Amino acid sequence: MKRGDRTMLILTVALFAVCLLMLGGHFFFAERDDLTAVISQNGRVLRTIRLKGAKAEEFTVKCAGGGWNRIRVADGKICMADANCPDRDCVKRGLLGTAGDSSVCLPHRLEIRLSGTPDVDGATY
């Protein structure tokens, strides 16, 4: 093997190693896509809760005019447990546990949305 060939071989192996390091680092250090519930009112984020391993809790969000929504977190899921809005559509929505899921209380302008990587980019309804 010529000296030039050997140099090229070393270069090739080194480049290969760098590629492996880049790809390995990218996937190892990639942001963990943990399921997170974002609770917002009037478009303003009130609270974010990382659902994986979150402790069970219940809390109330109040809105103008005496409105309230009771939010429950348990077993890696979240829901509007109760509310005093007219149709209680937000409560009927049930448990949210998948990225992209959301429950909206239109009368109280309150939304819980699960971020993460959903299986679709958007949804019509």
Partner 1 sequence: MQQKAGTTNLTKNRIKPAVLLALAAVLVLAALAARVVFSDRKTEQVERDAYKLGTVVRISVYGQNRRSLDKAADDALERGITRLENEFSVNIASSEISRINSASRGGRQITVGGVPYDTGYLVGRALEIARETGGAFDPTVYPIVKLWGIGTDHARVPSDAQIADARSRISFGDVTVLKTNGTYEIKIGSRSRRQMALDLGGIAKGYVADVLAEMLRKDGIKCALIDLGGNIYVIGEAPQGRPWKLGIQHPHKPRGEYFGTVDVEDTSVVTSGPYERFFVKNGVRYHHIFDPQTGRPARSDLESVTIVSRVSANADALCTALFVMGFDKSAAFLAKHRDIQALLVRSDRTVFVTKGLESVFRLSDPSMKQETLK
Q: Which residues of the chain form contacts with partner 1 (CB under 8 A)?
A: 1-2, 5, 8-9, 11-12, 15-16, 18-19, 22-23, 25-26, 40, 42-43, 86-87, 92-94, 96, 98, 100-104, 106-107, 109, 111, 119-125
Please, what is the minimum distance in Å from the beta carbon of residue 122 to partner 1?
5
Please, what is the minimum distance in Å from the beta carbon of residue 15 to partner 1?
5
Nearer to partner 1, 36 or 100 (CB): 100
CA distances to 99, 101, 115, 116, 123 from 119, rounded to whole Å, are 8, 10, 11, 10, 10
Nearer to partner 1, 73 or 103 (CB): 103
* Distance of alpha carbon 90 from alpha carbon 65, whole angstroms: 18
Pick from 64, 55, 51, 49: nearest CA to 110: 64
Nearer to partner 1, 43 or 55 (CB): 43
Round to the nearest angstrom and report the end-to-end CA distance of the chain: 68
Please, what is the minimum distance in Å from the beta carbon of residue 55 to partner 1?
25
Nearer to partner 1, 9 or 34 (CB): 9
CA distances to 15, 76, 83, 94, 122 from 104, rounded to whole Å, are 51, 19, 12, 11, 15
